[in-house]
Amino acid sequence: DAGITQSPRHKVTETGTPVTLRCHQTENHRYMYWYRQDPGHGLRLIHYSYGVKDTDKGEVSDGYSVSRSKTEDFLLTLESATSSQTSVYFCAISAEDRDTYTGELFFGEGSRLTVL
């Protein structure tokens, strides 16, 4: 199994509070991704990173920010959580150059966030 750890695995918070989810990898892969999973929508990309301090938006980035200060860590922050951000969040990593070759995504086990 790819070495990907997400924390926390479960969190309940209240509307308006900040939340940070952490993804840690031990594979030294270049690309890291944050997805959210909601019933009927599959997985939707929030943000991704293609290197330290290099990040870009995905299709559902509003209300989220990310940071990557080290190769192994990719943080997802909800500055002010809303009930619509209740979801399961998955971190994924990929070794390949995304523009010229594709391989597989390796996924963490997910972080279940409930915003009351």
Amino acid at 9: R
Distance CA 47, CA 32 (A): 9
Residues 25-84 that bind another protein (CB under 8 A): 33, 35, 40-45
Give yes or no for a contact between 63 and 85, defined as CB atoms under 8 angstroms apart: yes
Q: Which is nearer to another protein, 79 or 97 (CB)?
A: 97
Q: How far is the CB of 54 from another protein (least distance, A)?
A: 13
Instruction: Name which position in 90, 93, 113, 115 contacts another protein (CB under 8 A).
Output: 90
Q: Which is nearer to another protein, 79 or 109 (CB)?
A: 109
Start-end of H helices in the chain? none
Give yes or no for a contact between 111 and 6, defined as CB atoms under 8 angstroms apart: yes
Question: Any contact of residue 23 with another protein (CB under 8 A)?
Answer: no
Q: Chain-centre distance of CA 17, in angstroms? A: 18
Give yes or no for a contact between 49 and 31, defined as CB atoms under 8 angstroms apart: yes
Instruction: Name which position in 17, 28, 98, 116 contacts another protein (CB under 8 A).
Output: 98
Residues in contact with another protein by CB under 8 A are 4, 33, 35, 40-45, 90, 92, 98-99, 102-105, 107-110
